[in-house]
C-alpha cells in the first residue's frame, strides 16, 4: 500500500540540474549517508540542516535535468525527502528516483502557490496534493501502474531481487 506523504515544502525554480542537487566534486562518495550530506548544496546550502524526514521538494519545470548521476536521487532519498513535485522532470533523474523508490510526481499546478515551509500532503495513489497551510488542493498526473508497483515494492531493487529468487 502507498502511504500519504506529509512534510514541509522546499520550493525551487526551473531547470534545477543535477549539479545543483549534488555537485560533481562529491561523486566519488558512495555511502548514502555521506551522499546525503551534500543534498541540494549547489543551490541551497541550508537544505541539509533544515530538511526533516518526509519533507517535499516543489519545483518548476525540468527538475533534475543534466547528468545521469544516480547520486542526485540517492542524496534526496537519504536526506529524508518524501517526494518531489515538479512541473516536469529530467528524464534520467525521473527513472533513477522511481528505481530508488523516491516518489516523483508531475504537478504543474502547485509550484506557484506554495512557499517554503508550507505543509503539504501527497496521496500517491490518487495524485492529490494538498497545501495544508494555505488550504489549497492540486492534482498531480497519476502515476502509471508500472511505477506504482515499483514504489509499492520499495523500489526496483527488491522487485528484481524477488524475480531472481523466483527464477532460481
Partner 1 sequence: MHAIEKILARAAGKESVKTGEILNCTVDLAGINDLYLQTLRSFSEMGGSKVHDPGRIVLFLDHYAPASTIAQADNQKQFREFCREQNIKLLMDVDQGVCHQVLADQGLVYPGQLLVVTDSHTTTHGAFGAFGTGVGATDLAIIMITGKLWFRVPEVIGIRLDGKLSTGVYAKDVILKIIGELKADYATYKAVEFTGPALAQFSVSERMTLCNMTTEMGAKTSYIQPDKITEAFLSGRVKHPYETVFTDSGYVYAAEHSYDISAIKPQVAAPSSVDNVSDLAAYAGRPIDQAFIGTCTGGRVADLAVAARILAGRKVHSRTRLLVVPASKSVFLEAMNQGYVQKLVEAGATFVTPGCAACLGTHQGLLASGETCITSSSRNFPGRMGHARAEIFLASPATVAASALEGKIADPAPYLA
The residue range among 22-30, 49-57, 111-119, 127-135 that interacts with partner 1, by the rule CB under 8 A, is: 22-30
From residue 100, give the alpha-carbon distance in Å to each of 37, 95, 112, 114, 133. 18, 9, 28, 26, 29
DSSP 108: T
Contacts of partner 1 in 90-119 (CB under 8 A): 90-92, 95-96, 99-100
Cell numbers for 132: 495544508
Per CB under 8 A, the list member of 4, 23, 148, 152 interacting with partner 1 is 23
Instruction: Name the minimum Å distance from CB 137 to partner 1.
Output: 26
Residue 86 in contact with residue 60, Cβ under 8 Å?
Answer: yes
Q: Which of residues 133-152 bind partner 1 (CB under 8 A)?
A: 146
Nearest CA-CA partner of 73 in 157, 163, 162: 157
Give how far the C-alpha of residue 111 lies from the chain's centroid of Cα atoms, to the nearest Å.
14
Residues in binding contact with partner 1, number by CB under 8 A: 41
Applying CB under 8 A, which of residues 61, 133, 139, 153 lies at the interface with partner 1? Answer: 61
Q: Which of 3, 50, 68, 116 binds partner 1 (CB under 8 A)?
A: 68
Closest C-alpha among 102, 125, 130 to residue 114: 130
Binding site for partner 1 (CB under 8 A): 14-15, 17, 19-20, 23-25, 27-30, 42-43, 61-62, 65-71, 73-74, 88-92, 95-96, 99-100, 146, 156-157, 160-161, 164-165
Amino acid at each position: 500500500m502507498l502511504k500519504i506523504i506529509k512534510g514541509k515544502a522546499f520550493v525551487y525554480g526551473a531547470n534545477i540540474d543535477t549539479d545543483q542537487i549534488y555537485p560533481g566534486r562529491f561523486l566519488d562518495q558512495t555511502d548514502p549517508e555521506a551522499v546525503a550530506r551534500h543534498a541540494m548544496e549547489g543551490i541551497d546550502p541550508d537544505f541539509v540542516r533544515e530538511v526533516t524526514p518526509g519533507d517535499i521538494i516543489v519545483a518548476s519545470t525540468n527538475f533534475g535535468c543534466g547528468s545521469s548521476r544516480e547520486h542526485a536521487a540517492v542524496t534526496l532519498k537519504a536526506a529524508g525527502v518524501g517526494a518531489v513535485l515538479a512541473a516536469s522532470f529530467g528524464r534520467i533523474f525521473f527513472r533513477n528516483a522511481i528505481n530508488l523508490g523516491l516518489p516523483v510526481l508531475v504537478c504543474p499546478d502547485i509550484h506557484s502557490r506554495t512557499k517554503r515551509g508550507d505543509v503539504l500532503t501527497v496521496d500517491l495513489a490518487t495524485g492529490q496534493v494538498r497545501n495544508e497551510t494555505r488550504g489549497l488542493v492540486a492534482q498531480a498526473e497519476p502515476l502509471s501502474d508500472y511505477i506504482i508497483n515499483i514504489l509499492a515494492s520499495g523500489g526496483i531493487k527488491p522487485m528484481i531481487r524477488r524475480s531472481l529468487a523466483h527464477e532460481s
